[in-house]
Amino acid sequence: MIATSNSSTSSNGDRTQILAKIREALREEAPLKHPAERSAGGEPTTAHFREWLPPVGSSAEERFALFARLSETLKTELHVCTDAAQAAAVIASIAEQCEWKTVALHHGELTDAVDRALPTSLNRVWVDNGYDKEVLEACDAGLSECELLVAQTGSVCVTGPSSGGRVLSVLPPHHLVVARRSQLVTDLTEAYASLATKYRETGYPSMISFITGPSRTGDIERILVLGAHGPKRLTVLLLP
C-alpha cells in the first residue's frame, strides 16, 4: 500500500490564507506620520525625519568634532591642513612610507593646488579625458575632491562631477579626498537638500555615493576585513 501526503494541499491552503490577509490589509492605507513636505524649489524634503536621526551640534565646532570622532571610529584618516601645500606634504609622507610610485587624480581647484606641491618623482595618471583600466588599477592611490562631508555619519559624499567620475573612489587601494571645512554639513537631510539645490536645473549626476570609512565586510565569521569591495584606506585632507 502506498501512503499519500496532504502536504501539498495544506501548503496551498496556507498560501491562500496568507494572500487573503494581505489583500485585506491593503484595503486600508497606512497612516502617515508627516504630510509630504517640499522645499522652495519644489523638491520633497526629509527635514521631518530628523527626530529619528542621531542629534548633531548646532555649531560648526560641534559638527567638526563629531565628524572627527566618527572618522576615528570608522578608520578614516583625517588630517586638518592649513593649506594645499601641507596637504601635499601629508600625501608625500604617506607615499614615501608606502613606497608609492603613481597616484591617479582629476583636475579641480583643490586637486590642482595639491598637485603643484607634490614631489615630481610621484607619477600622475589623469582621468579627465579617459584612462586605461589596467593602468588605473595599478595606481597606488586615487586623489579626488568631493561634494560634501556629513558630520552625522562621518561620510564623504562624492559625485561624478565633483570627484572625477566613479573610478578614483573605487579602483585604487587608497582613496585620498581633499575638501574644505565649509563643505561639512550637519546631517543627511542637509546633504540631500544641498544636492537638490545644486542640481535642480541640470539634473542629478548619474553617480552619487556616500562613503563611510574604507571598504569593509564582516560576512566571514563576523571578522572585519578592510578593502573588501574597494579602497582599503580612506584619507580626508581638510583645508580651511
Nearby residues of 144 by Cβ (< 8 Å), 6 or more positions away:
105, 106, 108, 111, 158, 162, 163, 164, 168, 169, 175, 176, 177, 178
- pLDDT tens-digit profile of 101-138? 999 999 999 999 999 999 999 999 999 999 998 999 89
Select, from the ranges 41-45, 62-66, 211-215, 222-226, the one with the highest average predicted confidence (pLDDT): 62-66
Of the listed ranges 41-50, 65-74, 218-227, the least confidently predicted one is: 218-227
Q: What is the mean pLDDT of the chain?
A: 87
CATH fold group of domain 47-239: Rossmann fold (3.40.50)
Residue 55 — pLDDT band, cuts 50, 70, 90?
confident
**Are 193 and 39 in contact, with CB atoms under 8 Å apart?**
yes
- Higher-scoring residue by pLDDT: 11, 203: 203
Select, from the ranges 85-94, 188-197, 199-208, 216-225, the one with the highest average predicted confidence (pLDDT): 85-94
Question: Over 60: is that where the pLDDT of 219 sits?
Answer: no
- Count CB atoms within 10 A of the CB of residue 106: 21
Question: Over 80: is that where the pLDDT of 212 sits?
Answer: yes
**What does the chain come to in residues?**
240
Listed in sequence order, the DSSP H helices in the chain are 7-26, 60-74, 84-98, 109-117, 133-137, 188-198
Percent of the chain past pLDDT 90, that is, above it, reads 64
- Higher-scoring residue by pLDDT: 37, 164: 164
Which residues on neighbouring strands pair with residue 233, listed in sequence order? 174
Which residues on neighbouring strands pair with residue 157, listed in sequence order? 148, 210
pTM over 0.85: no
- pLDDT tens-digit profile of 67-84? 999 999 999 999 999 999
Residue 14 — pLDDT band, cuts 50, 70, 90?
confident
